[in-house]
Structure 1
Amino acid sequence: MLLKLRKHSFFINASREKLRFCLASTSSATTATVAEAIAPQLNPQNTQLRESQEPPFSCYLDPKYVISLLLRSRDIFHTRQIHSQVTIHGMLQNLNVANKLLYTYAQHKALGDAYAFFGEMGERDSVSWSVMIGGFAKVGDYTRCFGIFREVIQYGVRPDNYTLPFLIRCCRDMVNVLNGRVIHDVVLKHGLESNRFVCAALVDMYAKCRVIEDARKLFDEMPSRDLVSWTVMIGGYAECGNAYESLVLFDSMREEGVVPDKISMVTVVSACAKLGAMNKARLVHDYVFGNKFSLDVILGTAMIDMHAKCGCIDSARDIFDKMKDKNVVSWSAMIAAYGYHGHGRKALDTFSMMLSSGTLPNAITFVSLLYACSHAGLIEEGLRFFTLMWDEYSVTPNVKHYTCMVDLLGRAGRLDQAVKLVESMKVEKDEGLWGALLGACRIHGHIDLAEKAANSLLQLQPHNAGHYVLLSNIYAKAGRWKDVAKIRDLMTRSRLKKVPGWTWIEAYNNFHKFSSGDETHPMSKEIYEMLRNLNEKLKLAGYVPDTSFVLQGVDEEVKLGMLYAHSERLAIAFGLIATPAGAPIRITKNLRVCGDCHTFSKFVSAITQRVIIVRDSNRFHHFK
């Protein structure tokens, strides 16, 4: 039925029980639909309206109902329709309705509409300001986010525990500790330092900005710590490279009676993966299954990564097989695990299984595949997958894929092809790509190309001492000691220091750390005695030290002495003393294992009948 009243036109659709109305004017008409909310407020018995009645919808609409409509708003168009009607009925004077409309626009990421409406609001409260700050923060518009906050301060509005965490997270995402400290001062000024939401956000911000001491100080001063606070602090230590302290905190959390949930367990599992501690990994594994946490794609994938990075690829596969649901991330994690353990063929088999399951690969999958091909010497397979990426799966190669290909070709000695690939690529080159090319030059002694790659690297990262060291080692291997001296002098003038090599081993429920020539360990006497015994047996087995890996211009005898006490050897000798007979020895090194230590490990594994697993900065090495 069409009813005309003054300047308004209405159409009642009885079949859908909805009221559709048009506001007509001489120049335009705005159409809006409001679901079953307003119609019931009219008398349902009336199918006709009389001309003598008051204008339609002059009856009072319940603000609570309008707010419920906004909460159920499906999209931005529906929100605009509701906006039109509450404007017609003068309900925007109700601040609760206005704030909820503002919030709904922000939820639909319609920040243009939200900001325009915000500017027209005759009255605002702290909720209004918070909604705008939160809206801009969620879409990553940090400039406007902080701009609105400046207005908050200028207008004398008191920030609350809703507004400040948004701003703190902006500082975290920007890794801007200076702005973070400014917001921290505002927190202190308004007495919100004891609020657990604000404090947890500050701890997270400082941790992400790698100011872990400040994060820990705040954490320790919190009057009450909930699960979120503990999880943030545990994750913070792991991200700052102190995974051991993450696991210590996990134990402390449980001692205080805080029960972990699945999110916190994912954080703990990830910390354990970074630490590479098998005994800790077993404890975490037992806790997960003992408390019946379901292996969803997030926790399951994290546990695959943990077992793989702790040196047990079989346990990683066992977790993978137990997962009921797998997505592309889970499959890619398993492929990557096989890759950095040197099981290239198994990585390819897993990829075939992935395709058979109906899961399509993504960019990360192909990085894992190409890495596996590179470290297993599967040259032709790697070239084929690189071509298939775009041709069959529409995955555009990025710099990581090109880096894997340069590494693959470089390891195979096909440096000319690697250079052509670098020259033909259209994506921006990064330090990883040039580092892969420089590493290939180190293997094959290609000095001219090494200098070109090193120059490109140093333009990108002029303060990374590792690049200078790698070029210096290439010169040293070629006997160009004058060039070595120049590099070292350049490092000295730039105040750059070489990262020292360390090797860790887990034993006696603790971590034992060794440097080259280390004599600080309480069991040093026994360790060096074990080394002497090993060297005698190794000579009989045919082991001959390769002093070419000592890249210093010193006498041969001095080189032998330097090889003798490399940190890897000290850790292996200690492992033979500290672990049960027949048990695998797992060690972790922060740098690459030198070639002679690789040979040493192989011989020691053979004469002691021990499995030795070495995790270095690049991959795992298995000796058995």
Structure 2
Amino acid sequence: MLDGFARKGEIKKARDLFDKMPKKNVVSWAAMISGYVENGMFEEARSLFDLMPEKNVVAFTAMITGYCREGNVEKARSIFDGIQHKDLISWNAMIAGYVHNGNSEEALKLHIAMLELGMKPDHATLIAVLTACSCLALLQRGTQIHAVAIKTKLESNTSLSNALVTMYSKCGSIGESERVFQKFKNQDLISWNTMIAAYAQHGHYQKVLALFYDMEANGFTPNGISFLSLLSVCGHVGKVDESITWFNLMVSRYGVSPRAEHYACLVDILSRGGQLKKACDYIREMPFEAESTVWGALLGACQMYSSIELGELAAKKLLRLDSQNSGAYVMLSNMYAAAGMWKEVTRVRILMKEQGVKKQPGYSWTEIGDKVHVFLVGDASHPDIGKILAELGRIWLHMKFLDDEADVVY
């Protein structure tokens, strides 16, 4: 009953029932704590966890999930390390927590530690690890995980297949994404959207359209995610008019209400296409306040087309929403510099210094020999820099001789 109330979102009824129980065991406490976590009431979960007389692995795992959702992975890890008898669910919670908080390297390290202890992964483990590989573009590691999925007969899991499509796509191997998608026979709407997004990421406009129509032919109704991929690929290949057509069809034919990300994508396409006035018109038509991504897209285009007045407006709106956005200061400064307005350049830099905003350095990484090498922009201090540059040069020469139709992005 506790679990049922919690799953239905009736958390107050669950707590009333919990308080009325004449005798509670560890399962009762864990169910109530998990219910609070799943309903986003982490403070209540933490208070109950502190009162729990005898804690079990389920309660510990619920707290790991809660801390990770709050972004406190250090506290989550301390609880994880304190569990004497960890089960697969607790390992999965910690690995997924690292991935969710952008710490994919730690997720992969924890996965290796789990395997060394003899724990066998399930589909949830592999999905989290594949997501980590996607974030770091680790094709070789992702391929190894794919082999594990085949060996353990988990490849047929729908969510795992979707994760494989995404991993191969983000690692630049769109052909492998296609093979995974075509091999899998039980695609759901998420599967179709995942493959459409993969094509969109690689700029394959015609393939996106073909798969979009195939999805409809197979009885699936496109949703907001489908149209976001359509708009995205229109932006990749510079199809401004087509993006407007699809945006309008999304509403009129398919009844999908545009969200902030749809407007942001369309504004970005129009802005980069030089249609700044039309982009502003769409911003004014938005039924909600424009987010920072929208104003950022407009500001970038104003810098490109030297539209000072509109750029100042976009920068003002962007900094009101995100005062620590270093990109806004840099773009505004560059726009002034291109126009020869050096006094304004100085003013922006002084304001940036007063606000304590620092330009974030650029990072890049490459995987060579199953090892990830991370570089700061302009960094030449890496101990293996010579070997890495030689290997990248060899890869570049190989790429130059590839057929023009190959799926390679230079």
Q: Secondary structure at the match of 2:153?
A: coil
The equivalent of 1:221 in structure 2 is 82
**Quick one: which of 50, 68, 73 aligns to 1:185?**
50
Q: How does 1:383-532 map to 2 (within 5 A)?
A: 383-524=244-385, 526=386
| Aligned 8 A contact 2:165 2:177 in 1 | yes
The equivalent of 1:610 in structure 2 is 399
Q: How does 1:561-600 map to 2 (within 5 A)?
A: 574=388, 576-578=389-391, 581=394, 583=395
Q: Secondary structure at the match of 2:375?
A: strand
The equivalent of 1:253 in structure 2 is 114
The separation in 1 between residues aligned to 2:305 and 2:34, in whole angstroms, is: 49
The separation in 2 between residues aligned to 1:306 and 1:211, in whole angstroms, is: 26
Q: Does 1:138 align with 2:1?
A: no
Q: Does 1:163 align with 2:26?
A: no
2:29 partner letter: T
| Aligned 8 A contact 1:367 1:401 in 2 | yes
Q: Secondary structure at the match of 1:413?
A: coil
Relative to structure 2, which stretch is displaced further, 435-444 or 206-215? Answer: 435-444
Query: By how many angstroms is 1:408 displaced?
Result: 1.4
The separation in 2 between residues aligned to 1:513 and 1:394, in whole angstroms, is: 45
| Aligned 8 A contact 1:175 1:208 in 2 | no
Q: How does 1:374-385 map to 2 (within 5 A)?
A: 374-385=235-246
The separation in 2 between residues aligned to 1:179 and 1:490, in whole angstroms, is: 42
**Quick one: which of 218, 224, 228 aligns to 1:357?**
218
Q: Secondary structure at the match of 1:162?
A: helix
Query: By how many angstroms is 1:290 displaced?
Result: 2.3
The separation in 2 between residues aligned to 1:172 and 1:475, in whole angstroms, is: 49
Equivalent pairs, count: 405
| Aligned 8 A contact 1:367 1:400 in 2 | yes
| Aligned 8 A contact 1:507 1:579 in 2 | no
The separation in 2 between residues aligned to 1:497 and 1:580, in whole angstroms, is: 33
1:377 partner letter: G
Spell out, residue by residue over 1:212-252, the C-alpha distance to the aligned partner (whole angstroms, 9 max, x if none). Answer: 11111211221111110111111011111111221222222
Spell out, residue by residue over 1:59-107, the C-alpha distance to the aligned partner (whole angstroms, 9 max, x if none). Answer: xxxxxxxxxxxxxxxxxxxxxxxxxxxxxxxxxxxxxxxxxxxx3xxxx
TM-score, L = length of structure 2:
0.89
The separation in 2 between residues aligned to 1:384 and 1:339, in whole angstroms, is: 17
| Aligned 8 A contact 2:296 2:318 in 1 | yes
Q: Does 1:313 align with 2:102?
A: no
| Aligned 8 A contact 1:303 1:319 in 2 | yes
Q: Secondary structure at the match of 1:306?
A: helix
Quick check: which has more Rg, 1 or 2? 1
The equivalent of 1:262 in structure 2 is 123
Q: Secondary structure at the match of 1:513?
A: strand
TM-score, L = length of structure 1:
0.60
Q: Does 1:622 align with 2:406?
A: no
The separation in 1 between residues aligned to 2:374 and 2:252, in whole angstroms, is: 48
The separation in 2 between residues aligned to 1:222 and 1:511, in whole angstroms, is: 31
The separation in 1 between residues aligned to 2:122 and 2:206, in whole angstroms, is: 37
The equivalent of 1:325 in structure 2 is 186
Q: 1:428 to 1:456 in 2, by over 3 A?
A: same
Q: Does 1:202 align with 2:63?
A: yes
| Aligned 8 A contact 1:296 1:325 in 2 | no
Q: Secondary structure at the match of 1:174?
A: coil
| Aligned 8 A contact 1:472 1:484 in 2 | yes
Q: Does 1:295 align with 2:161?
A: no
The equivalent of 2:96 in structure 1 is 235
The unaligned stretches of length 5 or more in structure 2 are 402-406
> Going by fraction, where is helix more abundant, 1 or 2?
2
Q: 1:215 to 1:169 in 2, by over 3 A?
A: farther
Query: By how many angstroms is 1:609 displaced?
Result: 4.0
**Quick one: which of 40, 61, 65 aligns to 1:174?**
40
The separation in 1 between residues aligned to 2:19 and 2:340, in whole angstroms, is: 66
Q: Secondary structure at the match of 2:366?
A: strand
Spell out, residue by residue over 1:557-614, the C-alpha distance to the aligned partner (whole angstroms, 9 max, x if none). Answer: xxxxxxxxxxxxxxxxx3x424694x4xxxxxxxxxxxxxxxxxxxxx4xx34369xx
Query: By how many angstroms is 1:266 displaced?
Result: 1.6
Percent same amino acid among aligned pairs? 34
The equivalent of 2:404 in structure 1 is none
Query: By how many angstroms is 1:447 displaced?
Result: 2.1
2:283 partner letter: V
Q: 1:442 to 1:289 in 2, by over 3 A?
A: farther
| Aligned 8 A contact 1:212 1:240 in 2 | yes
1:138 partner letter: R
Query: By how many angstroms is 1:444 displaced?
Result: 2.0
Q: Secondary structure at the match of 1:360?
A: coil
The separation in 2 between residues aligned to 1:492 and 1:621, in whole angstroms, is: 41
Q: Secondary structure at the match of 2:350?
A: helix
Q: 1:136 to 1:146 in 2, by over 3 A?
A: closer
Spell out, residue by residue over 1:14-56, the C-alpha distance to the aligned partner (whole angstroms, 9 max, x if none). Answer: xxxxxxxxxxxxxxxxxxxxxxxxxxxxxxxxxxxxxxxxxxx
Q: 1:145 to 1:484 in 2, by over 3 A?
A: farther
Spell out, residue by residue over 1:252-299, the C-alpha distance to the aligned partner (whole angstroms, 9 max, x if none). Answer: 212211111122222222222122111111111111122222434311
The separation in 1 between residues aligned to 2:133 and 2:262, in whole angstroms, is: 28
Query: By how many angstroms is 1:180 displaced?
Result: 5.3
**Quick one: which of 219, 234, 239 aligns to 1:373?**
234
Query: By how many angstroms is 1:424 displaced?
Result: 2.0
Higher relative contact order (CA 8 A, sep 6+): 2
Query: By how many angstroms is 1:322 displaced?
Result: 1.0
| Aligned 8 A contact 1:164 1:183 in 2 | no
The separation in 2 between residues aligned to 1:163 and 1:354, in whole angstroms, is: 45
